[in-house]
Structure 1
């Protein structure tokens, strides 16, 4: 009685709803695991072109330098300078080379950035 009208089985209905949410999340994560691909960014070690896993240093049109690492959607941590490969900055940088000047679309308008350095982890 303390959980509401017993004739409606509030706890039972809430439990079923919660179980459906959990099942939906399990299906989502299972599908993500099935299509997941392990990549090794160290195969590009020593290269000057930007691919997945690269640590890129670039300068914007105001001369400010920034360093980011291009990671997967679930791995990216903006506080650590890691961006998702689908972010606007990463999509602009992908396939660029050191010295390229690129057009970065931002909410405030298009900005120019220049790729200064590209680094990959050393092979083990």
Structure 2
């Protein structure tokens, strides 16, 4: 099932590693969630927010996924503008400075992972 949210982006239902239904935001997150599940990687959709400051304003960042057995946060990205990329880098840098393990995966990275499940 899918439905619109925030403009043209859609929410999708996918099954996690335990077979539970979970909402993910957009096709890229859907692809990542399905790939992680097929690879047998235990994950959860991240609901914990992390505060960060950018250009003098405070925001809250919610990473896309958390890999339970790897203590690793994953942020998925398709095409992004330079402005959006700078904002994403600021969020990732904040997480690293606070001692969290986090990786930003782009569409090409996710496609490579997906090939492992075929």
Larger C-alpha radius of gyration, 1 or 2?
1
* Range of TM-score over shorter length: under 0.3
TM-score scaled by structure 2?
0.27
TM-score scaled by structure 1?
0.26
Point out the structure with the larger strand share.
Answer: 2
